[in-house]
Each structure stands twice: as structure tokens, then as C-alpha cells.
Amino acid sequence: MPEVPAGLRDAVARFDASAAVDIVIATASIYWLLLLVRGTTAMTVLRGVGVLLLSAFLLSRMFDLRVLNWVLRNSVAGLLVGMVVVFQPEIRRALERLGRTGLRTVMRRAERASAINTVVSAAGAFARQSLGALIVLERETGLQEVIDTGVPVGATLSVELLSSIFPEQSPLHDGAVVVRGDLIVAAGCTLPLSEAPLPGEFGMRHRAAVGLTERTDAIVIVVSEERGEIAVASNGRMVTGLDEARLTRQLQRLFDLDPGTVGETEQAAAS
């Protein structure tokens, strides 16, 4: 029977519950980070860095390249700093997600249901008129940076008010409306554009909607001026080709509302 190497015996002897927990935490952290950058340009950069480092390591070992070995040994600190710079948006998004508690979403469910009714009605009307619109629904992540780029409104959300903001003759029609609860906080806001590759039929409104949802937990409703279609963006992804019923279901799912809550709120408002 072959003898077990001493190094392997020592590793097995030192393996205990603490080591198992350490491995599980490290594995889960790496997996979570990979999920975070999946489908983004950062994932492509990460693959490129991995291929480059692996190729350099294999070449240095195969041909005993002393200079390359020295560079690899002494570049760990520089690589860590470079990774922080390159992946700054992803790191910021990860920390922002860790800071979410979910309390604001739970406390504002009644306001959310009322806001969904209003936004869905307005989006349906805009789609029928082929009127472009960009409506941001704030969740836990504060959007003060976005709000500061627009014009303060501070008025209760209503279809009539939205209809006065987005027509072409309005000076605020090109920007986004930011909604907090059932209040329009600001209009004419500028959103950060997504750098991810998007289908050619997506215009600047769609790119702005995806860009904001890549950085925050906000939900953005987009009405296309060219096609009169409704879309909703969240978590850096977009669902297109929605009607009022499908938009309602999407928003109920994203806000974790019961299917009957929105209808009940609408009936209560009508009575």
C-alpha cells in the first residue's frame, strides 16, 4: 500500500471544524462575487486577467523564467490595488446591497400599492399616445445624487401630474421622474448610462434605466416614444413588451406585494 505523503497527513491532521467553516465562507464569498459580476463587462475583464496570470505562471514554471517569476511574486499588492480600481462599481454595488435592510420596503407597502396603480395607469396612457417617459421608483437605496440633477417637485404622485411632465412641450420631458413612496420628489433628472452591451432597438431612455438599476435597487419604468412599448428595469436587467396587466404583475413581484393588494388600494381610492 503506497505511503501517504507527510504534507498530506499534516493537512488532514490540522483540518477541523474551524477550517471547514473557513473554507465554506471563502467559497461562498467568491461565488457571491462571481454572481455579482455575471453578465457585466467586469466579468470579461476578470476572465482576461485570469487567463493572463495563468499563462504567465505556466510559462514561468515551464521555462524557468526568473524575471517573470520575480514579477509574479512581487505584483500581488499592485494587482489588489488594480482590482479595486477596475471593479470599483461592482464593489460599491456589493457594499450597497449588504447595507439594505428591507425595513423601508415593508413599512411602505400601502404607499407602494397606490404608486403602482398610478404609474401603471400613466404608463398605459403614455404608450397609447407614443409618449416617451422615464419613471424611477426609489426603494431602499437613496437616490439623492440623481435627485440633485433635476428640478425639485415635492408633490403627490398622480396621473395628471405625470401627464404634465412628459409631453414634448414640457421642459422636463427628456429627464426622469423620481418617485419616493407616493411622492414625486424631482423631475427632469439625469440617470447614469449603462456601459453593458444592449440590443440596438434600445434608446437612451432604456440605457439610462439599466444604468441606474446596475448601481442601485431602484425600479425604472420606460415608455418608448418610437414604439409605444412599456418596459421595466431592475437589477441591471430589462423586461420589455409589457402591457398594463403584465407591468402590474412585474411591479407586484419586484416590490413583494400580494396580487390583490394593488387592486384593493385602487378600489379604496375610487370609493
Of 81-95, 98-112, 166-180, highest mean pLDDT: 166-180
State how beta strands 151-156 and 183-189 pair.
antiparallel
CA distance 3 to 34: 39
pLDDT tens, residue by residue, 146-177: 999 999 999 999 999 999 999 988 888 889 99
CA distances from 91 to 23, 94, 132, 193 (A): 22, 5, 33, 18
Q: Which three cell numbers stand for residue 2?
A: 503506497
| pLDDT of res. 98 | 64
**Residue 72 three-state SS:** helix
Domains annotated for the chain, with CATH where assigned, are: 6-98 (no CATH), 103-270 (3.40.1700.10)
Mean pLDDT of the chain: 81
pTM strictly above 0.75:
no
pLDDT tens, residue by residue, 249-266: 999 888 887 665 555 444
pLDDT tens, residue by residue, 182-241: 899 999 999 998 877 788 778 889 999 999 998 888 999 999 988 889 999 998 889 998
Provide Rg for the chain, Cα atoms.
25
Q: Which three cell numbers stand for residue 139?
A: 426603494
CA distance 204 to 194: 9
| pLDDT of res. 271 | 37
